[in-house]
Structure 1
Amino acid sequence: MPGQRLAPDISDGTSDDDPSAVLAGERAHLAASRAALQAMREHAQSLSSDAAGDWVSQQILQSLLDQRVAALADHPDTPLFFGRLDRSADDDLPVTIHVGRRHVHDDHSRPLVIDWRAPISRAFYQARPADSMGVRLRRRFGFRGGELTAYEDEPLSEGAPLTESKILTEEIERPRTGPMRDIVATIQPDQDEIVRADLTRTVCVQGAPGTGKTAVGLHRAAYLLFTHREKLARSGVMIVGPNGAFLSYISSVLPALGEVKVDQTTVAGILGDHAAPEDPSVSAIKGDARMAPVLRRALWMHISKPEEGLLIVRGASRFRVADHEVREIVASLRGTTRYGPGRAALAQRLAHTVLVRMEQRGESPDDRVQDAVARSAPVKRLMDHVWPKVTPPQVLFRLLSDDAFLAAAAKGDLTPEEREALLWRKPPRSWKSAKWSAADAALLDELADLIERTPTLGHIVVDEAQDLSAMQLRALGRRCRTGSATVLGDLAQGTTPWSARSWTDVLTHLGVAEGVVTELTLGFRVPREVLDFAARLLPSVAPDLAAPRSLRPGAGSLTVRRATDLHADLAATVGRVLTQEGSVGVITADASVPAVSAALTAAGVGHDVLAPDSTTARRVCVIPASLAKGLEYDHVIALEPADIVEAEPRGLARLYVVLTRAVTSLTLLHTRPLPGQLA
């Protein structure tokens, strides 16, 4: 019957073919496809960069060849194709196509596997009986490791009943071990619409836990690289995640899809890894968008009013530019360009004025004379006085250490109390010895862009965007000012003091106010029983959001237990969970991590402890609550919710994150009373 897994005694629902014979035929096609992929890889390896003319061209060509070879790597534990379309359309395209992670053709250029991103593959995700898109049958394949084990057919003729795919359900629910997997075999229609959104469009995805928003963002990057290969190869694509542990978790997704040349980094990786301790209330002020005009004024206040003119002596001739002329030139340039180019333009404008004086005396100076005048000592002295060369640290140091300068730069944008909070109590001796905070990093980047324009990328994917300050968002927006963005997050999971309350605000700060906001509320990974329990926190952390829904009932997936000996109960719980398949995440308040790790070690439970930039290999991992965002574990054991809530101002939001990391079971162990919202 349609929708059933293959068994020796059932038909595929479309013909009288022996199911075993059908499966054997598909396995033969898989073997032929793998052999063809290997031949494609060997051909790429045989190509030489020697044909390029010079050494630089050879290096560029060799890099491209190396990328091509890496993109053609076969992963034996990953299905090469996961679906098939039997088409009824009358066109020049193949009647039967196998849909997979990358294109594969034989030595006659006959396609054996069509890339899931190709236009013809869209029907695999979007076709339905009411709109078959020229497809009469959709076939899904079941795999274990890299071996094809089953198939399932879904007729798409008009009037055919909608059926639930067991293969699809089992793939979604398959236990998670190791890094994040791609979801090309299970992309849902609403997810596919986001993935295939045009490059010119900025898309913001509000995604509840388990809705696959991160995977959707990564797959959109892969789709855009496939569709706009040449353009994005020049301009670049960047993935920005919340921390190194998260990047490690998602690191395998794009390479598995054949995309090996994508930068994956954090905000700190872009702005600089500054981590000087700072009061959160001060960081919140520095992260506010009002700091942008303050910084602009602070930079341009370094320009002083010219009090003297310019005198250039060349041989017996003396050429003057009056002070009022210098003031006019400075005024015409100030604020109309970036600070650095404006300074260079001032030197050239002064030199040009001197050349006019020379021509008035009958001389015939050329461009070389103008450049010489622009570099002359008198022009340099005037420039250093009127339009001095500055660096971002110099400007920010002066702003945070000089009360009068800060007051003048702030005007009415900051209150006296905010200015007082920003000022250093004990300023460093100089800007060279200053220790900058993470919030300062965004201010330094803003100043750097005011001095010299920041290079831009073709596309940027920003995950957990709700946790970024307005100034951090402005920094990322500068890096896609001529491109587009995919913005991912969940307002309910905002855990920083400056967390966004509105996606409209986020897009405005990014500089893409025209971006489209779409919402994913239907979860596929977190069991319904767990998600409903966590959703009790929503009225307190994000009252305007709709409660998420899950397709998986998950009966028995939630256990809430009061313990008398937390560590002893933890060890026993881990022991029971280890009898089941899948990864185990023990999530606790950051301050409790050493004690929890010691307790597991004493109980003989081997485990890893997740650090901001670490990777983990063992089944059991102890996770600080602050690093849990974006990660998934088959079984989660959450300890002392009250400790997690009290550890930070937005502790309830942090607890919501912790409770929604489980994809099979959640066990809540506590000795202290639960937060009232969970009672």
Structure 2
Amino acid sequence: MTPKPAPADAANAPTESASPALPAPLRAARAHHARCRAAVAAAREAAHDHVVTGATVSASGADAEVLGRALRGHARDLDELPPGPLFFARIDFAPDPARAGEHAGQGYHLGRRRVSEDPTVPPLVVDWRAPVARAFYRASPAEPYGLARRRRFGWAPGADGTDEQLTAFEDEFPEARTPAIPHEAPAPAKTSTPPVAATPSAPSATPIPPSPLLLAEIERPRSGPLRDIAATLQPEQDTLVRAPLDVSVCVQGAPGTGKTAVGLHRVAYLLYAHPRRLSRAGVLVLGPNPAFLRHIAEVLPALGESGVRQSTLTALLDHGPARTTEPEAVARLKHDPRLATVLHRALHALTAAPEDAEASLTVPDGSALWRVDAEAVREALAPIRTAVSDGTLPYRAGRERFRARLLALVRARAERRSGPRTAA
């Protein structure tokens, strides 16, 4: 069951401390952004606390290593979170379940990363890659996806995430086919009367005119490193980004049409949708030269993905001079994808447990010799072998976990021989 966020009309609730010169939705959006910033700061502090406490957790060598790496990685990701706005849009669904399904009457802020005050409560910001965010990118008069309103937020150029830099918003009503209705924070020297939202007109056959905020962002001069386009993805681009993992996508177009950006956003989406599978296999972004890699280096971290390897083909192949050559037939065999299956079988064939019921594992310890019977070895190995075979546990981590379990068996036997401990 999908957790229910705040009702859609909560976005229009004014706040006590907000300036009366601002439209009520803009005041509410600034207050919500302040709450999001506080949640991120709390998450960052908690992540560092978990790194400290996690170091004292008693676990096997492999488990402790995996836990420590995960905790340190999470803390590092939060520390390296680029400054900037935490959300760029809000979507509000129609109240009719027949049109909006399980999201009827609900509203969601969308951002580049999920922001939550607690894992057990609805998030303050939904990740742009979440299934519910599809409606933001694809809603149209022909297929409104149940949206009653699509709201885009405008931020000051070069915004670093300060609440006051949220300066505008505009509303679109896909089902009503009305143009985007812009609202801006009034300048200090001008009138403080908030603009009045236009009333959606009756449906017509006229297409919705382009969003002014969207056009301004798309047409903004581009200089320096490549930026993400999560806030401005078009329906056709979103279709490419969210294509299934088993579909190979080839993006073609003239220079400046967003080919590279779409490819990087697809990488970020697939890492979000298939984290376990891709974390095991790994992801490689291959570029033509180091200058290109520097140009795109900030996109994936801005989208919350910092563990992707980026390399040029030259650097990938330049592991030292070739020391020998092989016959062409041998080279073809080694490059055959079927050889991976052969190697996989050969590797896992080495993890067989003792078949002889009388066999035992002996571990020397000084003058003592500890024995672990074959049945105990098989019981320790069976779940690890299953996890390695189905791909949920890396082979090397499985070796470490098996070793830790055998040491635990030996330690238990040693403690039993030495007898119960006496109080000091």
Return the letter of the residue paired with 2:113.
Answer: R
Q: Does 1:170 align with 2:216?
A: yes
1:75, distance to aligned residue in structure 2 (A): 4.9
Q: Say if 1:83 and 1:52 are closer, same or farther in 2 by CA, change over 3 A.
A: farther
Give distance in 2, aligned partners of 1:300 and 1:117.
40
1:542-589 Cα offsets, whole Å, 9 max, x none, are xxxxxxxxxxxxxxxxxxxxxxxxxxxxxxxxxxxxxxxxxxxxxxxx
1:257, distance to aligned residue in structure 2 (A): 0.8
1:16, distance to aligned residue in structure 2 (A): 12
1:650-672 Cα offsets, whole Å, 9 max, x none, are xxxxxxxxxxxxxxxxxxxxxxx
Return the letter of the residue paired with 1:68.
Answer: H
Q: 1:470-549 to 2 correspondence within 5 Å?
A: none
Q: 1:250-329 to 2 correspondence within 5 Å?
A: 250-272=296-318, 296-297=328-329
Q: Does 1:131 align with 2:143?
A: yes
1:170-194 Cα offsets, whole Å, 9 max, x none, are 2122233432111101111111000
Q: Say if 1:296 and 1:139 are closer, same or farther in 2 by CA, change over 3 A.
A: same
Q: 1:200-599 to 2 correspondence within 5 Å?
A: 200-272=246-318, 296-297=328-329
1:76, distance to aligned residue in structure 2 (A): 6.5
Return the letter of the residue paired with 2:63.
Answer: S
1:57, distance to aligned residue in structure 2 (A): 2.8
Give distance in 2, aligned partners of 1:65 and 1:159.
47
Give distance in 2, aligned partners of 1:118 and 1:338.
37
Return the letter of the residue paired with 1:122.
Answer: R
Give distance in 2, aligned partners of 1:299 and 1:168.
52
Name the counterpart of 1:415: none
Task: Determine which of 113, 132, 135 is the counterpart of 2:125.
Answer: 113
Give distance in 2, aligned partners of 1:256 and 1:98.
17
Name the counterpart of 2:411: none
Name the counterpart of 2:88: 82
Assess if the C-alpha contact under 8 Å between 2:81 and 2:301 holds in 1: no
Name the counterpart of 2:36: 33
Name the counterpart of 1:43: 46
Assess if the C-alpha contact under 8 Å between 1:182 and 1:215 holds in 2: yes
Return the letter of the residue paired with 1:23.
Answer: L
Assess if the C-alpha contact under 8 Å between 1:52 and 1:61 holds in 2: no
Task: Determine which of 58, 67, 70 is the counterpart of 1:64.
Answer: 70
Give distance in 1, aligned partners of 2:48 and 2:245.
32
- Structure 2: runs of 5 or more not aligned: 1-10, 15-20, 179-206, 347-355, 357-390, 392-424
Report the number of matched residues. Answer: 280
Give distance in 2, aligned partners of 1:254 and 1:300.
35
Assess if the C-alpha contact under 8 Å between 1:86 and 1:138 holds in 2: yes
1:69, distance to aligned residue in structure 2 (A): 2.1
1:239 alignment partner, SS class: strand
Assess if the C-alpha contact under 8 Å between 2:109 and 2:126 holds in 1: yes
Return the letter of the residue paired with 2:85.
Answer: P
Return the letter of the residue paired with 1:30.
Answer: H
Task: Determine which of 108, 116, 120 is the counterpart of 1:97.
Answer: 108
Q: Does 1:188 align with 2:273?
A: no
Return the letter of the residue paired with 1:155.
Answer: F
Give distance in 2, aligned partners of 1:209 and 1:233.
32
Assess if the C-alpha contact under 8 Å between 2:154 and 2:167 holds in 1: yes
Return the letter of the residue paired with 1:142.
Answer: G
Give distance in 1, aligned partners of 2:66 and 2:228.
30
Assess if the C-alpha contact under 8 Å between 2:153 and 2:168 holds in 1: yes
Assess if the C-alpha contact under 8 Å between 1:254 and 1:260 holds in 2: yes
1:129 alignment partner, SS class: coil
Return the letter of the residue paired with 2:235.
Answer: P
Return the letter of the residue paired with 1:198.
Answer: P
Q: Say if 1:159 and 1:56 are closer, same or farther in 2 by CA, change over 3 A.
A: closer
Give distance in 2, aligned partners of 1:338 and 1:35.
52
2:250 alignment partner, SS class: strand
1:111 alignment partner, SS class: coil
Q: Say if 1:15 and 1:119 are closer, same or farther in 2 by CA, change over 3 A.
A: closer
Name the counterpart of 1:155: 173
1:255, distance to aligned residue in structure 2 (A): 0.7
Give distance in 2, aligned partners of 1:74 and 1:149.
26
1:273, distance to aligned residue in structure 2 (A): 6.3
2:126 alignment partner, SS class: strand
- Structure 1: runs of 5 or more not aligned: 1-13, 277-293, 302-334, 346-365, 367-456, 458-679
Give distance in 2, aligned partners of 1:70 and 1:202.
32
TM-score relative to the length of structure 1: 0.38
1:105, distance to aligned residue in structure 2 (A): 1.4
Return the letter of the residue paired with 2:93.
Answer: R
Give distance in 1, aligned partners of 2:12 and 2:90.
16
Assess if the C-alpha contact under 8 Å between 1:34 and 1:74 holds in 2: no
1:92, distance to aligned residue in structure 2 (A): 4.1
Give distance in 1, aligned partners of 2:56 and 2:319.
40
1:44, distance to aligned residue in structure 2 (A): 2.0
Give distance in 1, aligned partners of 2:265 and 2:339.
37
Q: Say if 1:178 and 1:52 are closer, same or farther in 2 by CA, change over 3 A.
A: farther
1:153, distance to aligned residue in structure 2 (A): 0.7
1:59 alignment partner, SS class: helix
Give distance in 1, aligned partners of 2:227 and 2:332.
49
Return the letter of the residue paired with 1:296.
Answer: E
1:221-252 Cα offsets, whole Å, 9 max, x none, are 10001011111111111110111111111111
1:392-416 Cα offsets, whole Å, 9 max, x none, are xxxxxxxxxxxxxxxxxxxxxxxxx
Name the counterpart of 2:194: none
TM-score relative to the length of structure 2: 0.60
Q: Say if 1:64 and 1:173 are closer, same or farther in 2 by CA, change over 3 A.
A: same
Q: Say if 1:22 and 1:74 are closer, same or farther in 2 by CA, change over 3 A.
A: farther
Give distance in 2, aligned partners of 1:259 and 1:62.
19
Q: Say if 1:97 and 1:300 are closer, same or farther in 2 by CA, change over 3 A.
A: closer
Return the letter of the residue paired with 1:179.
Answer: P
1:427-457 Cα offsets, whole Å, 9 max, x none, are xxxxxxxxxxxxxxxxxxxxxxxxxxxxxx9
Assess if the C-alpha contact under 8 Å between 1:268 and 1:274 holds in 2: no
Return the letter of the residue paired with 2:170.
Answer: E
Return the letter of the residue paired with 2:28.
Answer: G
Return the letter of the residue paired with 1:162.
Answer: I
Return the letter of the residue paired with 2:212.
Answer: K
Assess if the C-alpha contact under 8 Å between 1:130 and 1:159 holds in 2: no
1:46-85 Cα offsets, whole Å, 9 max, x none, are 2124325134432322221122223334757422110110
2:252 alignment partner, SS class: strand
RMSD, matched Cα: 3.3
* Identity within the alignment, %: 46
Q: Say if 1:248 and 1:83 are closer, same or farther in 2 by CA, change over 3 A.
A: same
Assess if the C-alpha contact under 8 Å between 2:12 and 2:25 holds in 1: no
Assess if the C-alpha contact under 8 Å between 1:38 and 1:74 holds in 2: no
Return the letter of the residue paired with 1:128.
Answer: S
1:258, distance to aligned residue in structure 2 (A): 0.8
Task: Determine which of 60, 63, 82 is the counterpart of 1:54.
Answer: 60
Q: Say if 1:300 and 1:251 are closer, same or farther in 2 by CA, change over 3 A.
A: closer
